[in-house]
């Protein structure tokens, strides 16, 4: 599945071409090292990469037998999800331009943990990569009410999950943090 140059695929890519993928959940403004780690593991596993953005401002109304998902906005005056997905696609495209892997971007709707779990089931994903939430009072309150996506995924499905902290890894800025003796 790996090609010499990175190739973005459109959403029309059949799911069978993406079997055993590494799935990474991305949001606008998320640190780049979350995507970097997903790419690293996709290369190690020889898997395609599926970059997903979940639009929480929409909900699933029903799904056709062929897999097409019909959704409706929670607020009829807001369509933030499309702009956020475009930003995620742009960031992923720039970061994956020379990564040497096959990848695609998909937008899901509804509850992030449930949407990612359902996609992982369809693709028989090898690994799920999720970044932690930003720090702050507002995010703490939101997590109190909605819960952690990573924790909910860990409890509701059987795949391996790699949770990436928001901050850069300390070992990257100082390679001799724990020198071998």
Would you list the domain boundaries of the chain? Answer: 25-168
Q: pLDDT tens digits, residue range 18-75?
A: 999 999 999 998 899 999 999 999 999 999 999 999 988 877 776 777 767 666 666 6
Contacts of residue 12, Cβ cutoff 8 Å, sequence gap at least 6: none
**pLDDT higher for 69 or 104?**
104
Nearest-10 Cα torsion for 82, 87, 92, 97? 110
Q: pLDDT tens digits, residue range 120-157?
A: 999 999 999 999 866 655 555 555 555 688 888 888 88
Q: Which fold has domain 25-168?
A: Rossmann fold (3.40.50)
DSSP 140: H
């Amino acid at each position: 599945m790996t090609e010499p140059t990175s190739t973005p695929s459109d959403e029309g890519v059949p799911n069978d071409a993406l079997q055993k993928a590494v799935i990474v959940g991305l949001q606008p403004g998320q640190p780049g090292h979350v995507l970097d780690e997903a790419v690293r593991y996709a290369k190690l596993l020889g898997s395609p990469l599926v970059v997903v953005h979940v639009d929480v401002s929409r909900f699933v109304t029903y799904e056709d037998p062929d897999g097409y998902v019909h959704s409706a906005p929670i607020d009829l005056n807001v369509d933030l999800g499309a702009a956020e997905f475009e930003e995620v696609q742009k960031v992923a495209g720039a970061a994956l331009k020379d990564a040497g892997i096959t990848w695609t971007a998909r937008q899901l709707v509804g509850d992030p943990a449930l949407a990612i779990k359902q996609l992982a089931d369809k693709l028989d994903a090898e690994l799920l990569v999720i970044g932690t939430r930003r720090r702050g009072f507002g995010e703490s309150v939101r997590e109190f009410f909605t819960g952690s996506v990573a924790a909910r995924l860990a409890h509701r499905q059987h795949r391996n999950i790699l949770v990436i902290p928001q901050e850069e890894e300390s070992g990257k800025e100082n390679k001799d943090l724990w020198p071998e003796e």
